[in-house]
Amino acid sequence: MAQGVCRYASIMNGARQVLFHHRIHKVFKQHLVCISVWEKDKKGGNRKPYPVSHIEMIKDGLKMMGPEMKKFGDEMKHKFRADPFVNINDGDYEYIWKFNDRKRVEEWIVSSDHDNNEGQSKANLTFSTNNTALFHGYLSQQVPKDGVVKRTGYCNIRSPTKFLSFKREDNHDWSCFTHLLMRVRGDGRPYMVTISMDRFFDINWFDQYHYTLFTRGGPYWQIAKIPFSKFYVTSKGRIQDKQEPIQLERITHLSITIGDGNEGPFYLEIDYIACMFDENHKEAFAYESYVTDPAHVNT
């Protein structure tokens, strides 16, 4: 039995059935024919049904069919025209997010402890007059009097999910590069850069890679060049004994977090986030690995 999410339309031989939009579709036959619209449901299809009628699903699906077909055509053109042998030279870099557009800034997700009723911190991500993204707010250390939360004070921004045509989720592939490049102007406080991964097994869904971004403060811009080999792996916020290099072809999101334990206002102005190739960087992984009992790893 295969399970999945039918985004727009699926056709099953022997059964005249067409489903649109986000309805969960369970297939009990092996001869399923899908036309670039079906993707596997990571959680096995165990979701609550959407409170939308079939007619509304069909209407919404048809409205989006035109733009998505155009996007699908552009993807096919790029696939057939692209050179399969990528030649990257020393010092080459590629913009992943360039914050010179208000729409690009508004796509990012902003959160804080206040959103989860775990504190009083406030955060915003705005498009500045310098045509950059400005991450600013107030970091509060006030602990709620609920008898549960013991520590508080964090604000976070996260990149949007990368989608292909027909709302198919896709990963970022940075395997050709060696460094993360960021042009920022901060307030002197440290920020945590987090890279989220696409893992197959549910026990690894919370795997993340971290490294600290140290800002200088003052009116001048700085370019942070962080090797991917310096990122260390955590699970649910705990640093793991079993460390391993980051899989650069399976990256889903990038986040920037402030939570240094100091109450007060903060600001971080971001011009761009890019990836860079440095042929002189030969380090594969910066941290030693331990031989551990498999039953005690990631727990």
CB atoms within 10 A of CB 56: 13
Q: How far is CA 175 from CA 30, 49, 234, 261, 288, in A?
A: 35, 38, 20, 34, 21
- 29-38, 130-139, 268-277, range with the lowest pLDDT: 29-38
Least confident of 17-26, 87-96, 104-113, 116-125: 17-26
Inform me whether the pLDDT recorded for 293 exceeds 50.
yes
Sketch the domain layout of the chain as residue ranges.
Answer: 92-277
* pTM: predicted TM-score of the whole model, two decimal places: 0.78
| Joined tokens for residue 156 | 């976070």
Q: Which residues contact 183 (CB under 8 A, 6 or more apart)?
A: 221, 222, 223, 224, 270, 271, 272
In the Cβ-directed half-sphere of 79, how many Cα atoms lie within 13 Å? 7
> Does residue 43 carry a pLDDT above 70?
no
pLDDT in the model for residue 295: 67
pLDDT at 17: 37
CATH architecture of 92-277: Sandwich (2.60)
The per-residue b/e assignment along 275-284, b for 16 or more CB within 10 angstroms, e otherwise, is bbbbeebeee
Express each pLDDT in 133-155 by its tens digit. Answer: 999 999 999 998 888 888 899 99
Confidence band, pLDDT 50/70/90 cuts, at residue 117: confident
Contacts 24+ apart (CB under 8 A), 10-15: 10/34, 10/35, 10/37, 10/38, 11/35
Summarize pLDDT for 222-256 with one digit per residue, the tens: 999 999 999 999 998 889 888 899 999 999 999 99
Could you tell me which of 231, 242, 230 has the C-alpha nearest to residue 298?
A: 242
Instruction: Please report which confidence band the pLDDT of residue 76 belongs to, taking 50, 70 and 90 as the band edges.
Output: confident
Residues 6+ apart with CB under 8 A from 169: 39, 161, 162, 163, 252
Q: State mean pLDDT over 46-75.
A: 81
**CA distance linking residue 128 with residue 86, whole number of Å:** 35
pLDDT at 21 over 60: no
Q: What is the structure's pLDDT at 202? A: 80
Give dist(CA 121, CA 265) in Å, integer.
Answer: 10
The CB-side HSE value for 188 (13 A sphere, CA atoms) comes to 6
Rounded distance, CA 101 to CA 105, Å? 7
How confident is the model at residue 212, as a pLDDT?
Answer: 96
* pLDDT > 70 fraction of the chain, expressed in percent and rounded: 79
Determine the Cα angle at 251 with ends 7 and 235, to 5°.
105
Specify whether the CB–CB gap between 153 and 125 falls below 8 A: no
> Which tokens is 186 given?
């901060």
Residue 28 pLDDT more than 50?
Answer: no
Mean pLDDT score, 113-117: 90
For the four alpha carbons of 228, 231, 236 and 239, in that order, the dihedral sign comes to: positive
